[in-house]
Every structure is written in structure tokens, then in C-alpha cells.
Amino acid sequence: MPRTVETLPAPDRVAPEEPEGRSAPRAAGPVPSPRRAELVNAAARLFSERGYHGTSMQHLGRALGLQRGSLYAHIGSKEDLLFDVVDGGADRFLSMARRAASSGGPAAVRLRALLVGHVNTAAQHLDAATVFLNEWRYLSPTPRAEIQAKRDLYEGLVRRIISDGIASGEFSPGVDAAMAGRLVLSAGNWIYTWYRPDGAMSAAAIGMELSDLILDGLTKEGPP
């Protein structure tokens, strides 16, 4: 029995998955055709397996049973697909993190909620997460800046939780919030390289164990 589940209360579901005003109207943007969604899914899978530059329109067409030229009935360019996959991944991580960060309670609880949520999100959309982390840099400057902004927001949320914890005395005052934030992001972002859905541990369990290791390091006082 690992000590995991005892060190801190579990986040037990961070929030009920956003009711958020804008549900019925669906104001902006054309309703995405189901065929286009299929295409984006296939792109997530293929880009994550073969890389963006290693995936051709031929590959994508074959995945849907179409000729490569036919794909242009649904997209403007190959890069549109990359952006859709990457942006979708960014939004999932970001909205999860916002829920975790704003959930109130001790910083340790919020940080755990964020890390567990991160691992869960990566696990549930492993392809998109892989593309989000690996291939976003191949976007051309304008869309890449858009993604960079979301990454910065995400990192800011993590760092804020840690600073809060230091300010409130929960975390050791010697902790460098920037470095601790990077440690959390490292643990979360490296997951996609080794997590496999058929592995021994569930994503939630992994998130809990990582939280334990990291939170112990943050709360421990230095030696006398």
C-alpha cells in the first residue's frame, strides 16, 4: 500500500466540468462538420505518431478513405489541421487548470488537483497532448504566438498556486516558485512519453503519486 492516498485529501473531482453561460447559443463560428472532426482526430493520431512533417496529406486521406485532394473540401491547409489539434489540446489543459486553480482551499490541494487533472487530460487525449507538446513549434509565427500565450497562461496558473502556498506558509519559504513550477510542468509534460493506457497504473493514480513526491519536497523544511 503506497502512502500516496494518505498524505493529502484527494481533489475528488475539481468542478462539474463547466456549465458556463455560453452553452445554448453557441454564438460564433460555423458548426464543425462531423467529417472535419474526423479529420482532426485522424490528424491528432497521425501527427503524434509520425510528426507533422512526417505526415502527408496522402496519409491523412487514406485514414478517412479519401483522396488527398478531397480533404481540401474541409480544410484550408495542412497547417489548419495542426492548429486545430494543438489549440484543442491547449484549451483542454487550460480549462482544466483554471478549474483547479480557482477551486479554493489550501495551495497543496489546488496543486494536486492541477497535476492530477493534467495527467488525466493527457491520458484521455494522448494524441492531442503529444502533438500539443511536440509539434506546436512548427506552426507559423502568428498561430504559434496564440498557442504560446495559452502556454504562458498555464504556467502562470501553476506558479501562482505555488506562490500562494509560500505566502500562506504552507510551503517552505526557501522554495523557488519558478523552479518548482517547472518541476510540476516537467512531471506533467513528460508523461506522454511513457504513459500507455494499458499500463499498470491509472492516470489518476500516477497523478496522485507524482503529487505526493512533489508536495513533500515543497512542504519539507530544510535540515536544521
**Sign of the C-alpha dihedral, residues 183, 187, 189, 194?**
positive
Which CB, 60 or 97, lies closer to DNA? 60
| CA dist., res. 143 & res. 150, Å (int) | 11
**Measured from the CB of residue 82, what is the shortest distance to DNA in angstroms?**
10
Contact 222, 174 (CB under 8 A): yes
Which of the 8 DSSP states describes residue 136?
G
Stretch 1-40 residues interacting with DNA (CB under 7 A):
33, 35
**Measured from the CB of residue 40, what is the shortest distance to DNA in angstroms?**
14
Query: What string of DSSP letters covers 61-120?
Result: HHHHT--GGGGGGT-S-HHHHHHHHHHHHHHHHHHHHHHHHTS-S-HHHHHHHHHHHHHH
Applying CB under 8 A, the span of 11-19, 70-78, 86-94, 168-176 interacting with its own copies comes to 168-176
Among 65, 141, 173, 197, binds DNA (CB under 7 A): 65
Among 16, 25, 29, 69, binds DNA (CB under 7 A): 69
Q: Is 147 in the site for its own copies (CB under 8 A)?
A: no
Q: Is 73 in the site for DNA (CB under 7 A)?
A: yes
Q: How many residues does the chain have?
A: 224
List of residues contacting its own copies (CB under 8 A) = 2-4, 6-7, 51-54, 134, 138, 172, 174-176, 179-180, 182-183, 185-187, 189-191, 193-194, 206, 209-210, 212-220, 222-223
